[in-house]
Amino acid sequence: MKKLVLASMVAAAAVAAPAQAVTVMAEDGWTLGVSGSINQFAVFTENDAAGGEDIREVRDGLLPAFLNFDLKAPTMNGLDLAAHISFSPGTNSSSYDAFEQREVYFTVDGSFGQVLMGKALGLYGSHNILTEQTLYGVGYGTGGNGETTLGGIALGYDYAAWRSQIRYTTPDMNGFKAAFAVVDSSTPSFRLGANGNLPASSLDTGAGGSDTDDFRYEADLSYAGAFDGGSYSAWLSGAMEDRDDLAEDLQQWTVGGTLKVAGFEFMAQYSDSEDGTSGSAGTTCLAAGGCNGTAFGAVTPASASEKLEWDQYVIQAGYRFAGTTLVSANYSELEDKSSSAVDGADESERITLGVYHDVNSNLKLVAEYTKVENDDSDVLDQDIFAIGGFMFF
């Protein structure tokens, strides 16, 4: 398994530029579009743990940079064919070899809906990360020279992950859409730290994949609509996979929704997950100052065939001034009910306050503060200040 920081390289499929900088059309009707984004932040992390050191970084946030290529064929026999390939280079000093390939897929659209084949953001968890404010910020998970931070992953919502899949999405049915995907099997879940440090089962419920005798299955039901002066959306998603050699099969579900009205923006989401892990999955420490004697990023053995169980939620509210400046706050909580949890359950909390200002369609400025508290260990108690921005092209 790759280092945890690679699992934290979560972005979102919607980070493409507002308008493609270059679009080329061939004589036969094919088009090629090139777009992308780059971000950079000055980040100040105050570690409240005993012996923890404060950290100063110049780095990217939850998202790496993106370079996107989109190809589209002319409509033929009622079918629209398109292909998408993206690359995600990092901007951090340690990211000399961080040129990750996240997405490569093609789509076929018609009156029947859409079929997607290739590697893309998974169905389960995608709404959660795409509607959370730290998507264009930093959140938590700083330090350790990781390629990206974590935003709110594993402390509010599960990791959607970039998954090899075959997916079908229905046509829009008066605002309703349903999607189903057969996905490459996932690696066993793993945890960050031990004795009350943040569970990270949600961080890697599929990244990397592993050979098993069954597929992973994901499904999503969503609804979106608009009214005079506002809009709304809701979703219900789930994932399942057999774990024949582990304590529990993987079962995950999440529900959430958004509301925008008269400049106010609200979002709420909840997720519940169960999984099994084995000693080979190990545990990985996230805290920059170390977790109970374990160095950052180090893997230590997990108990054999451990049962993992956790739930999370996020509540978010903000106001967008003049349509360009979003001032938003969210509160998230994680309850770890795994078999190794202290006193039956460990809880962690995160508060994020942020200002996200669109100077124009190509430039976004961000200022953000995040506080993380853990009931059972002060190792991961942190105050994180970040200021920076995005350039889209």
Phi/psi of residue 177, nearest 5 degrees: -140, 145
247 has a pLDDT exceeding 50: yes
pLDDT, tens only, 196-243: 344 333 344 345 555 567 899 999 999 999 999 999 999 999 999 987
Over range 287-307, report the average pLDDT: 44
* Exposure of 44 in the CB half-sphere (CA atoms within 13 A): 5
Is 365 buried (19+), middle (13-18) or exposed (0-12) by CB count in 10 A?
middle
- Mean pLDDT check: name the lowest of 131-135, 162-166, 281-285: 281-285
Over range 247-257, report the average pLDDT: 89
The whole-number pLDDT of residue 376 equals 62
Please indicate whether residue 147 or residue 382 has the higher confidence score (pLDDT): 382
The whole-number pLDDT of residue 103 equals 94
Over range 155-163, report the average pLDDT: 89
CATH of the domain at 341: 2.40.160.10
Number of folded domains that form the chain: 1
194 has a pLDDT exceeding 70: no
Over range 98-124, report the average pLDDT: 93
Instruction: Give pTM, 2 decimals.
Output: 0.84
State which residues form the domain around 47.
Answer: 4-392
Give the DSSP letter string of 161-229. Answer: -EEEEEEEEPPPBTTEEEEEEEEPPPPPP-EESSTTSPP-GGG-SSTT----SS-EEEEEEEEEEEETT
The whole-number pLDDT of residue 202 equals 35
Q: For the chain, what is the mean pLDDT?
A: 81
